[in-house]
Structure 1
């Protein structure tokens, strides 16, 4: 037996469909907030930037350790050289004095070489510190942008959630005005085909945008006003009004 409903109840489906369309649109906006794509890009960038920071921190630590090692070697050579210099005036044996002088010359050359190495190591340490600071600045800048966008997205999402809650409330009120059997058919068609009801406007289904054929229009004209019809193109409930042109 074909479902029947008053024309007024059928027209209520159009306002219900408006509410459902709004809900779908709001849900789509929530899923595709403009900030989300950039946040995902920044997450990828931050992962790489944080790795760079760790790598450069390791290079800086290595350079700092190398400076410390060379400084320690320099101190050892300086201390040995100073002891020899302090001791040399007290040495009475000529052979020992000569050997000590030769050792001092070797120590002086070694000290010079180490001090040159120390300068190079200190430059490498400075370069590593500069590179580390640059990597940290880039990471901090990216993280600040991400935090800003996340906060912005949260505000936008909260507003959309509020609109969605209101739309769902409105949908519930409109659905309550539709007879249960008609509502069940509407919900079934909407779940299957994406839309539950559509207006027949000037012989065209608004949902599909397709003008009905002469044969289809003839069949519709033969139906009673209380007959619930389905759009042959979209499978949604076809609601007839004064705009239908039939």
Structure 2
């Protein structure tokens, strides 16, 4: 591939901007708030699942309490009805039957009221568990909001610099011939983010290998507008007065 030496040297400017963009992306991903926020998100997911289970327990307890309360109302109504019938009958047989039924109903009512107290305590405990979980989620939300505010403040400066660097890159890229730019991008993908490197004192700035022997001679023989590559890392080698060849 052929490209004017000036165009090749522009690759160094482009590479510097790409390196800076990679650094900014790393800084953004490595903000001190990122890991704690991820941990809080994991905790919040776990707490949400716990809340769903606790709400299920509470709803079951309330359903059980509702059933017992319904049974209590039914038994109380029957006691009231039998009590009224008892005052209205003069039949000894009916009186004995009603009194026997009332004894049974009152025993049943007592059992139901005991059950009601137990289940009411269960409901109260389940409500307390849900409330405690809600308090924990609220505390997590407060911590998240605080960390997000810190992260947003820290990332704002990075985002501003990244936007400016993107604009600068676009300006530089526009000065580079399309075929050379495409070749650089290909090398950059394969080279872990580095597509072009300065050859300084016969040393590749990409992989730090020093050219010797036939490799050095091949670079020396290359025309100024030849696009040469490092024999070790395959990145574009940009030659300048510092190259020592």
The C-alpha deviation readout for 1:44-72, integer Å capped at 9, x for no partner, is 65455434433332332232232232223
Query: C-alpha displacement at 1:232, in angstroms?
Result: 1.6
Moved more, 15-24 or 74-83: 74-83
User: How far apart, CA to CA, are the structure 2 residues paired with 1:111 and 1:245?
Assistant: 104
1:19 correspondence with 2:17: yes
1:205 correspondence with 2:199: no
Aligned-partner SS, 1:167: helix
Aligned-partner SS, 1:243: coil
The C-alpha deviation readout for 1:110-165, integer Å capped at 9, x for no partner, is 22111111111111111221222233334444455556556665666654443332
Q: How many residues align?
A: 244
Please show how residues 12-91 of structure 1 align to structure 2 within 5 Å. Answer: 12-27=10-25, 46-85=44-83, 88=86, 91=89
Change in Cα spacing, 1:93 to 1:167, as seen in structure 2 (3 Å) is same
Shift >6 Å, 4+ stretches? 31-34
Please tell me the root mean square deviation across aligned C-alpha atoms, in Å.
3.6
Gaps of at least 5 residues in structure 1 are: none
Change in Cα spacing, 1:221 to 1:132, as seen in structure 2 (3 Å) is same
TM-score, structure 1 as length reference: 0.75
Gaps of at least 5 residues in structure 2 are: none
User: How far apart, CA to CA, are the structure 2 residues paired with 1:183 and 1:90?
Assistant: 107
Aligned to 2:232: 233
Query: C-alpha displacement at 1:73, in angstroms?
Result: 2.3
